Amino acid sequence: MIVMKFGGTSVESQEAIVRVTEIVRSYQRKHPIVVVSAMGKTTNKLLEAAVEAGAGRREQALVIVDQLRAHHLVHGLPLAGAASAELDRFIRTHFEWLDDLVKGLAVVGELSPRSMDAIASVGERLSSLVVTFALRAAGIPAQHVDSRRVILTDDRFTQAQPLLEETYLLLKENVRCLAETSVVVMGGFMGATKDGHTTTLGRGGSDYSASIVGAGIDAEEIQIWTDVDGMLTADPRIIPDGHRVKSISFAEAAEMAYFGAKVLHPATVLPAVEKNIPVLILNSRRPEVGGTRITPDAVDCRNAVKSISCKRGITILNIRSTRMLMAHGFLRRIFELFDRYATSVDMLSTSEVSVSLTVDNQENLPLICEELRHFADVSVEHEQAIVCLIGENIRHTPGIAGRAFQVLHTTNIRMISQGASRLNLGFVIADADLEPAVFALHEEFFSELDPAVFD
Ligand code: ASP
Ligand code: MG
C-alpha cells in the first residue's frame, strides 16, 4: 500500500487532473491512497474571502466565492463523466453553504480561527471529490473518505496538531481495508476535533496529511507529487543545469528545506520518519523522472556534498556588548528579545565581545534593534545571503571547508557556521556575490558525480 499526495498545481486544471488519473492508474496494483491539496490557488482565495467577510465586505467576499465556484465547475465537472450531475450537485451544495457562511460572517463582522478553518478546508473537501469522480470516470474504482472522519486533531484552529494514536487507529479501521479494493481519495490539510469541528494543519499541511496517513496505514512508501523533479544539487534559478539528487537522508532533506529548497517542510514528514517509511518527491508533469527518495539513513555517496542550498534576502545583525566582555546573561537577553518579537534566527556566531546573527524576517527589526541598543551596540547589514553545503559525509571528509573557501578566495565571507547539525557547512556572503559563488562551488563539488546518487 502506498500514499500518493498531489499538490495544488498537480490538480489545478482539467489537464492536470487527467495527468493525475493516469499516474494513479500506473500505481494501481500498489493500492494507493490518494491525498490531494486544493485546486491551484484555492486556499489563498478562500482565506481572502474569509478576511473580506470578517471585515464586513460582503460583496467582495461573494465575488471571490463566485470565481471559485466557476473554476471548480469548469475544471472539475467535465472530468466526472456520466456522474457529472452528482458532482455538480456536490460542488453547488458546498458553495451554497459557503455563500451562507460568508454572508453570516459579514453580518457579524468577525472572523474566528474556527470559521477560518471551516472555510479554508472547502478547497480540499472539493478537490478530493473532484479527483474521486475523475478516477471513476477513467475506469478506476475509487472511494472518497472525508478526512475529518479519520484525522483527529486538537482544537488549535488553523495550526491543529493531529492526535496520532486515535488517528492511526481510525485510519487502520476505515482506510486500510477500503484501499484493498479501490483507490481511496482524501483531502489533505484538514481534520476535525473530537467533537467534530473542522480544523486545518497549517498552510502547506497536505504533505503533513500524507505523512500521517502513510504512518497510520503502514504504507510501503509515501509519494509527494509536485511540479519539480525532486531535490537538486543547487537552486535551479541560479544553476539551471544542476543535477537531480536521487536519494538523500531525512536529515539532509531537513537542512535543505530550512535553507531555501522549498520542496518539503521537514516537520511534515516526521510521522513517516518515525515509522521508517521512505518519502519520494516526484514531478506530476514528468512522471518518468525518478524523483528524489528520502530515506531514514544516508546511502553511501562518493561526493561529500549532496547539495548547495541558499537563502537570499538575509539581514545580519552584529551585536556588541557595551561592557568590555560579554557579561553573563547577554545571550539570554538577546534571544529573549527575538522570542518576544517572534522573529527566528537562522545562523549565529559569537566571539568574546560580540554576536552576529542572521534573520530573514525584517518586520520587527527596527523595534528589536531599538531594544538591543539599551545594552549593546548594533549594526545591521541588509542584502546578504546564506549559502549551505549539505551532506552527511561533510563531517568526516577532511578538506571540504578548504576547498570551498579556496574557490571563494576573492569573496568576502561575513559569517561561518559549522557543527550545529554536523552535516552542513554554512556561511553568509553579500547577496551580490551569491550567483558567482554558487556557480563556482557547484563546479568544484559537482564536476564529478557518483552515478548512484546523482542524475
Ligand atoms: N491547500 C493548503 C494550502 O494551500 C494545503 C496544501 O496545499 O498543502 O496551504
Ligand atoms: Mg503545497
Can you give the residue ranges of every domain in the chain?
2-227, 307-445
Q: Which ligand is nearest to the CA of 226?
A: 2
126 Cβ below 6 A of ligand 1 = no
The answer to whether the beta carbons of residues 84 and 77 sit under 8 Å apart is yes
The answer to whether the beta carbons of residues 442 and 237 sit under 8 Å apart is no
- Mean pLDDT across the stretch 407-412? 96
* Model confidence pLDDT, tens digit, residues 233-286: 998 889 999 999 999 998 888 888 765 556 677 778 889 989 999 999 999 999
* Model confidence pLDDT, tens digit, residues 365-377: 999 999 999 999 9
- Mean pLDDT across the stretch 133-142? 97
2-227, superfamily in CATH?
A: Acetylglutamate kinase-like (3.40.1160.10)
- Which of 227, 233, 267 has the alpha carbon at shortest distance from 248? 233
Please check the confidence at residue 325 and state whether its pLDDT lies above 70.
no
Please check the confidence at residue 178 and state whether its pLDDT lies above 80.
yes
CA of 230 to the centre of ligand 2 (A): 14
* Model confidence pLDDT, tens digit, residues 288-303: 999 999 998 878 899 9
CA distance 274 to 218: 11
* Amino acid at the residue 213: V
Q: Where are the alpha helices (DSSP H) in 175-291?
A: 177-181, 206-216, 250-258, 270-274
Question: Which of 41, 121, 203, when mutated, tests ligand 1's pocket best, judged by the most ligand atoms within 8 Å of its CB?
Answer: 203
pLDDT of residue 449: 96
Task: Grade residue 324 by pLDDT with cuts at 50, 70 and 90.
Answer: low
365-to-314, 338, 353, 354, 376 alpha-carbon distances in Å: 12, 9, 22, 18, 15
Q: Kindly report the number of other CB atoms within 10 A of residue 429's CB atom.
A: 22
| Sheet with 376-390, side-by-side order of all strands | 345-350, 354-359, 307-321, 376-390, 424-430, 413-418
43 Cβ below 6 A of ligand 1 = yes
* Amino acid at the residue 211: S
37 Cβ below 6 A of ligand 1 = yes
CA of 98 to the centre of ligand 1 (A): 18
CA distance 265 to 429: 25
Domain 307-445 has CATH 3.30.2130.10: yes
Place of cell 509527494: 224
205 Cβ below 6 A of ligand 1 = yes
Task: Grade residue 55 by pLDDT with cuts at 50, 70 and 90.
Answer: very high
CA distance 424 to 417: 8
CA of 8 to the centre of ligand 2 (A): 6
Classify residue 329 by burial, with Cβ atoms within 10 Å: 0-12, 13-18, 19+.
exposed
* Model confidence pLDDT, tens digit, residues 156-168: 999 999 999 999 9
